[in-house]
Structure 1
Amino acid sequence: MTIPNSQLETPNCIAIQGARQHNLKNISLAIPRGKFVVVTGVSGSGKSTLAFDLVFAERQRRFLDAMNAYARQFVEQMARPDVDLITGIPPTVSIEQRNSRGGGK
C-alpha cells in the first residue's frame, strides 16, 4: 500500500511507508498527530515494534544526527529501522514499563 502524497506532506500525521521490522511485513499507515491514538493487537503483532523500533528509533536517529560527534558518543543509538519512509515525527519520549517485584515493607 502506498500513502498518497497529500498525507505524506501534511503536518497532521506521522506517515510510515514500507515498514519491514520484525513482524511488520511491508506495512504503510498514517497516524494522526494531536490525537489520542491506541495501538492494539495480539501478542507478537508488532505493536512495540511500531512504537519503539520504528517511530522512536527514527526520531532518536534524527535528533542524534543533529548533535556533534562528541555528544553522540555518550548516547546509545538504536538500529536504523527497516522502513522506506517515515515523515512527520515530532520530538518523542520513550517510557518503558517494568514490573518490580520487591519485598513489601
Structure 2
Amino acid sequence: MDRAHVRWCAACGAALPPEATARRRYCGAACDARAYRRRRKLDRIARAAVAALTDQADPGTRITRRVCPGCGNGFIAGGGGHRADAVCCSPRCRQRKHRTHTAVR
C-alpha cells in the first residue's frame, strides 16, 4: 500500500481501509459513535458556558458559576455535563471532599 494515499480515522488514528469512500472519516461504527458523543458533549459545554457568561440562560435552566471545594477551580453547574445541584467539579474532587469530611468525624 502506498503510504502517501493512506487516510486515517479521525477518532482513533487507525488507518482507514483502502476501499473507503472519500467521505468516510472513521474506521468503524464505534469510532463514529464515540466522535458523535464527543461533539454533542462539547456543544452542550459551549452553549452552557456562553449562556452562563452572558446571563442568557433559558428561564427553566439553573445554570450557575461555582467554585469547587475540593480543588478551588471554577465550573459551571447546570450545563456542560454537571448537574444543576453539583457542588464539586469532578467525581475525584467529590470523593476527596467526602473523605476529608468523614476523616474529621
**How high is the TM-score relative to the length of structure 2?**
0.28
Bigger Rg, which one:
2
Greater percentage in strand: 1
The structure, 1 or 2, with the larger RCO (C-alpha pairs under 8 Å, 6+ apart) is: 1
Greater percentage in helix: 2
